[in-house]
Chains A and B, each alone.
Chain A
Amino acid sequence: MNALLAMSTPMSWLMERLLEPLSHGFMVRALCVSALVGGVCGLLSCYMTLKGWALMGDAVSHAVLPGVVVAYALALPFSLGAFVFGVGSVALIGFVKQKSRVKEDAVIGLVFTGFFALGLVLASRTRSNIDLFHILFGNVLGISVADIQQTLLISTIVVVILVLLRRDLMLFCFDPTHARSIGINTGLLHYLLLSVLSLAAVAGLQTVGIILVVAMLVTPGATAYLLTDRFDRMTWLAILSSVVSSLLGVYISYWSDSSTAGCIVLVQTGLFLIAFLFAPRYGIFKSRSLPAMTASKD
């Protein structure tokens, strides 16, 4: 590269900054995986925020820890173990809620912390040196080819389900009574959405780790929700903000040599903050000129 030319204009300086990381294979992989996982989680986050399942997302993502540890110990694909424990925690939450008078948020809180604690104990007792730090905080810069394949498979399943059933799931979130009354099996949709949540949490923990995966499952949806009154637009905005956060986060983490997961989530939070302050209709500093509600035609 011609150094003189590269430094001559701000534009080419920026280009170089953007392109330089791409000469490293691990950065290309990290960017692709983060963008993919970001897009998938961004899509799902719309349903999570609208259904009010943010806490459920937190629960499932924490509850997969023992699954990951057991899978490593048994040399199974880690996503299999994680999925089993994710779905297991959901089933257990449903069971305890139904069979006791304890309120749902308390049940969720106690079940997922129980699972998480079990995971910590198992991790400290297993001989194999699994890197707990990587599971908890993500390790997308060092992601293995096998893990990429698993992520790809999981993402495909999640996207196919969410795209095929997007209208049914929206109706299920908005008005389950009506969904039932026109013959839609809402019980099935409920468990399907929870299974998809488990899958997405497994994919998400690849990039940002167990602790922060809930941000991937909530923040993009919340940001998009502040920006529009239309569901379809909300899904696109959530995906866009999530993918942008992932790419930008990985770049920032590379240049500042800091935690990738932290950077991705910080960018997401930053985007939310911008929407929170400046969203045209629902921001704190909303523009006065806009009418309270949209009257425009589509």
Chain B
Amino acid sequence: MTSPFRTAEGGRIDRATTLEFTFDGQTHTGHPGDTLASALLAAGRHQVATSIKLGPPRGIAAAWAEDPGGLVQIEEPFPEPMLLATTVELHDGLVAHGLPGQGRLAEISDSARYDAVHHHVDVLVVGAGPAGLAAALTAARSGARVALVDDQSEAGGSLLSGTDRLDGGPALEWVAAAVAELAGHPEVLHLQRTTAFGSYDDGFVLALERRTDHLGTAAPKHVSRQRVWRLRARSVVVATGAHERPVVFSDNDRPGTMLAGAARTFLHRYGVLPGRQAVVFTTNDSAYDAALDLHRAGVRVQAVVDARPAGSPRREECERAGIRVLSGAVVTGTQGVERITHARVAAFADGEVGAVSAIACDVLLVSGGWNPAVHLFSQARGRLRYDEALGAFLPAEELDGLSVTGAAAGVFDLAGCLTDGQRVARAALTALAVPPPGEDRLPTAPEPVAPAAPLVLWRVPDTSGAGGHTSFVDLQRDATVADIERAVGAGLRSIEHIKRYTTIGTAHDQGKTSGVLTSGITAELLGVPVQATGTTTFRPPYTPVAFAALAGRDRGRLFDPERVTSLHDWHVAAGAVFEDVGQWKRPRHYPRPGEDMEAAVLRECAAARTGVGLLDGSTLGKIDVQGPDAAVLLDRLYTNLMSSLKVGSVRYGVMCGVDGMVIDDGTVLRLAEDRFLLLTTTGGAAKVLDWMEEWAQTEWPDLRVHCTSVTEQWNTFPVVGPRSRDVIGAVFPQVDVANEAFPFMTWRDATLDGVPVRLARISFSGELAFEVYVNPWYGVAVWERLLEAGRPYGITPYGTETMHVLRAEKGYPIIGQDTDGTVTPHDLGMAWAVSKKKPDFVGKRSFARQANQDPLRKQLVGLLPVDRRTVLPEGSQIVELHADGQLPPPPVPMLGHVTSSYRSAELARPFALALVKGGRSRIGDTVHVPVDGTLVPVEVTGSVLVDPEGARRDG
């Protein structure tokens, strides 16, 4: 329960409040402002987990998202795998345990809310460190619309981890004033706990805001847990700082080994000492700050081991404090069991390692230099260049609308970051033609002390005898220098190949510490410049993002819109079983108690063929085509002639692509000389409207015609069967329903209690049928009138399955089920629907192509299983036996496939439709369909199996 490594004072934590949490079954305490990692370190615990492949302990190695080690599984408040202890904000009741690289998804569903917000700004600044704050202030002061996002819980960036001073006071006072000033600008959106994780085209940046995670069980339920910000900025300023990188040496994975900058963060931000006895190993001046700060905080700094032969001008400062500085020396390895006990140190000159001695320590701080966080720049396809002096990759070009500033651009001193942030913002404003602000003061920063040049050192030669097998490059993947050597030895040269061969950089941290190390070590092994090796591609997301957050509100019923007709509630009450047709919910059948689908469909089919049935066909696509040239457009797009259609009449039509293949079919009602109503398939409605508008706009802009979808404006109820005339006659007594007065393929306007209703004699079943069209507001009322009037005849509502059986018995194809984009009207036996009079229409020229004349094209035919029992599975292949009754040797030629297959009440046997090579010439033949391993003999027939003369339909 104690926190022996907590400092007596300081840090950004709320010491007045104590939080209790459980890690690996042990109870610990911490404070608001802690991360799980800082609270564990305060308790003296470095080890978080064990390695995924090799098993040794692994600990906290960094202070934020670059940590390759400290993976945890959260159990409470909600199970969540693969989070970093360094990025989990502490809250009361947190229960977590360490993970050896693999987590466990929750078995209960996530009840938290996730959402997304679109936001447009002039300038987006990513990162609220000194450069980002300076840039945001300049942009805000100009009056521009600004967003500032930062992934930490509070603004300040690197200033949170140090003791910098600005305007003569603590730098964080300036940060607080800057944040307050930004809050006063109404056009500024400032988000903390918000990670910009992807940068895309045209200033599009995705950012994840963690809104309630830090509140734990106290999180209000009505607030979304995480929010994806879809930011679109005219100008993006990337001020994302830099990641410190380690130097690779033997046994560098031992807990207690940590980046030097991370130790400063734990000290200054969280009030935590990473240990009692430290060794600091560095290649550059920045780690001297860690050594001196820890010394002042009471840590015994045993030695600063500086790989540079000339050391640092800061040596004196250390020696005055009593810290030993070993210049021209390196750490070659570590000792200890679960935690480091000694750093192994040796002289280092000209790449040669001298005699090793061990220095006792419980924490080893390492700095191999800084990698600018160029991720967002690189994701936006910015080119990088390798800087020899820094040993790091920097932006190599200016991008339109995206600039990089501060440490991300290789500027590492505070004064430089402030002026660079301001400069970049002013340039961005100028590019946007926004006048930069007149009053735009920067705080005064101390004169920077020029650092001594860093040494670029990727790895210390392995003198341990382990041959590089314990020199870890990517701790999370257990990938070592030996693995890179093996990759290079196997002939790999490309850094992308080496990444995949070794898996370096593929873990949760995506190579934040290991990526550039791998480039450097690979270049050394290949003997080429690091610039030639380059980096692997930076891809979003910068840090892991939960699928739940990406899905946002688009889950469950909101995943895809559901379309229902005005009859939906009636269908539900009637016990309909629904099927999805595109986004529509359509009743498939209406089972009575005890009926399965087969029984229900046989009953519904029999009712429609012998009495009367009623279908909700409202999902049929409907397009209102108006204008003086409406008939011209239809003549050019349908294969048959539409201009000759009389007002009051209906015609079936087929549309083809320019390749002559059927794309949709349906009926056309001529409403007036200059107005048609087109009925399309349910699934083809949007496509047909697109198709018509494309031709009207791009090829024939001279045509005076407009097309409008009216699918949702009309309910359509087919009343089907020999008694349909009685039903329509009873409901619409003013309409003469006699065949002579109201023949097949005509329509009539009627009214029902003053409500306009359109009646059409259209049949998709082959039966005598009427379609009733009405405004959906009156849909239920009209439907119920039809049912009422049909009661004496046993009127039966039927669903799509019965509709399919009825139409298939008549050989009416469903475009997209019985066709597949390679089928012409002729293949469907619909030469009658192809005009010979019209000089041209879309698709006509292709009918004359040789391939379209091939007598062996697949044609639509009927199939009757000889056993009168088997329902052929749709999609089954069709084969032909040799004369001797044997199958041809493999590969067995395929004649075609079954496209529709049902049991027929009318025929009292199953039947099918199929596309068969030269099908019409095979009528009367017997072919075979393999079903469950046996060959079922089937007779090839014409496609129309019921009432081929059409006597019922026309009667």
Do the two chains belong together in a single complex? no
Task: Using CB atoms and an 8 Å cutoff, list the residues of chain B in contact with chain A.
Answer: none
Q: Which residues of chain A have a CB within 8 Å of any CB of chain B? A: none
